């Protein structure tokens, strides 16, 4: 605008709800929305360490809160969202990382994605084994 | 020439995205589902065990990195999603988003140090 009012009304394509127009955009928005779950879980854990730093009663209060139906429902949603995030993170990774060559051949995108998924499975198994098995 | 600060936030976004992709699902399952429903050993998240974890240098670093990197990843991604829903990325939205990440980082870091 140069300050002069104009009588012309140029067509402006409405963009509201643009991401509902195409399944590709829907997947994009679902993938981006997993950040809400990652944030929510960071908040849950922050509350946990705050309570841990206070005393045992405060910590047990946090554990009790985790047992509430609302918390279980929230964490069921977070679990699905984290899974979607892990799945999509490694699907995008071949596009965001530098090209990778092994023996002069470019590593296929699907190979990179599968290695990422395998790493997640391995890390999950190790973490759960440590949590269940680690006794000092 | 003024240097861009974008690579720092991008790096935190990437590191947090990777860490949450690798461990997020298992962590949510352990703390949010398995322990509350009693599927796990009763002492898995017991106070003495978690206090020992938070006091150990490696445990402290792990808990801090999980919380801080998750927060920076999420807030960087949400900042750019604001644009997608029609809110322009400006100083205010950057301060709000990165401010939330910084607040979580500081609170978690301070609490972890306070555990001793």
B32 to chain A: which residues are within 8 Å by CB? 41, 44, 66, 71-72, 74-75, 78-79
CATH code of the domain in which B16 resides: 1.20.1300.10
- Using pLDDT thresholds of 50, 70 and 90, give the confidence band for residue A2: low
Total count of domains within chain B: 1
A11 in a structural domain: no
Nearest to A35 among B21, B44, B77 (CB): B77
3-state SS, one letter per residue, for A72-124 = HHHHHHHHHHHHHHHHHHHHHHHHHCCCCEECCEECCHHHHHHHHHHHHHHHH
Q: Say if A12 falls within a structural domain.
A: no
pLDDT value of residue A42: 98
> Tell me, what CATH number does A84's domain have?
1.20.1300.10
Q: What is the mean pLDDT of chain A?
A: 91
pLDDT, tens digit (0-9, with 9 covering 90-100), for B38-76: 999 888 999 999 999 999 999 999 999 999 999 999 999
The count of domains in chain A is 1
User: Is the per-residue pLDDT at A4 higher than 70?
Assistant: no
Across the interface, whether the CB atoms of A52 and B115 are under 8 A apart is answered yes
Nearest to A49 by CA among B35, B68, B96, B78: B68
Residue A119 domain-assigned?
yes
Measure B81 CA to nearest chain A CA, in Å.
7
Least confident of A13-17, B9-13, B57-61: A13-17
A41/B70 CB distance under 8 A = yes
In whole angstroms, what is the distance from residue A108 CA to residue A93 CA?
12
In-domain check, residue A113: yes
pLDDT in the model for residue A50: 97
Residue A44 lies in a domain: yes
Query: B26 vs A127: CB contact, 8 Å cut-off?
Result: yes
ipTM over 0.85? The verdict is yes
Task: With CA atoms as reference, report the closest residue to A124 among B52, B21, B1.
Answer: B21
Residues of B in contact with A56 (CB under 8 A): 47
Q: CA–CA separation, B15 vs A136, rounded Å? A: 31
- Structure-block tokens of residue A136: 């000092």
Q: Residue A115's pLDDT band (boundaries 50, 70, 90)?
A: very high
Residue A111 lies in domain: 18-133
Of A35, A63, A90, the CB nearest to B45: A63
The predicted-structure confidence for B88-106, as pLDDT tens digits, reads as follows: 888 999 999 999 999 999 9
The answer as to whether A85 is a domain residue is yes
User: pLDDT digit string (tens) for A26-63?
Assistant: 899 999 999 999 999 999 999 999 999 999 999 999 99
Model confidence at B6, pLDDT cuts 50, 70, 90, reads confident
Domain span holding position B44: 10-114
Question: Does A87 map to a domain?
Answer: yes
Query: Which residues of chain B neighbour A128 with C-beta distances below 8 Å?
Result: 26, 29-30
Q: Is B56 left (phi over 0), alpha (psi -120 to 50) or beta?
A: beta
Return the percentage of chain A with pLDDT > 70, whole number.
95
Whether pLDDT at A3 is above 60: no
Are B24 and A41 within 8 A, CB to CB? yes
Q: What residues 22-41 of chain B have any CB closer than 8 A to a CB of chain A?
A: 22-33, 35-37, 40-41
pLDDT at A1 over 60: no
CA dist., res. B71 & res. B69, Å (int): 5
Report d(CA A59, CA A9) in Å as an integer: 61
What pLDDT score was predicted for residue A136? Answer: 60
Please say if the pLDDT value at position B113 is more than 60: yes
Residue A10 lies in a domain: no
Q: How far is CA A122 from the centre of its chain?
A: 18
């Amino acid at each position: 605008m140069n300050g002069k009012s104009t009588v012309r009304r140029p067509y402006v394509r409405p963009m509201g709800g643009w991401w509902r127009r195409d399944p590709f955009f829907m997947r994009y928005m679902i993938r981006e929305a997993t950040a809400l779950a990652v944030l929510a879980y960071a908040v849950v854990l922050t509350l946990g360490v705050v309570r841990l730093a206070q005393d045992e009663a405060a910590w047990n209060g946090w554990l009790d809160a985790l047992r509430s139906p609302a918390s279980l429902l929230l964490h069921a949603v977070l679990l699905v969202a984290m899974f979607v995030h892990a799945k999509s993170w490694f699907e995008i990774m071949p596009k965001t990382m530098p090209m990778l060559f092994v023996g002069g051949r470019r590593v296929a995108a699907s190979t990179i994605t599968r290695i990422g998924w395998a790493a997640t499975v391995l890390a999950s198994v190790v973490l759960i084994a440590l949590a269940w098995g680690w006794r000092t | 020439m003024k240097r861009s600060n974008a690579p720092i936030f991008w790096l935190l976004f990437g590191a947090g995205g990777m860490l949450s992709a690798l461990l997020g699902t298992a962590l949510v399952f352990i703390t949010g589902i398995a322990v509350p429903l009693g599927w796990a050993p009763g002492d898995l998240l017991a106070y003495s065990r978690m206090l020992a974890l938070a006091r150990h240098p490696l445990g402290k670093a792990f808990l801090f990195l999980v919380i801080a990197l998750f927060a920076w990843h999420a807030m960087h991604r949400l900042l750019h999603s604001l644009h997608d829903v029609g809110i322009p990325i400006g100083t205010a939205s950057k301060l709000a988003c990165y401010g939330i990440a910084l607040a979580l980082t500081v609170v978690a870091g301070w609490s972890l140090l306070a555990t001793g």
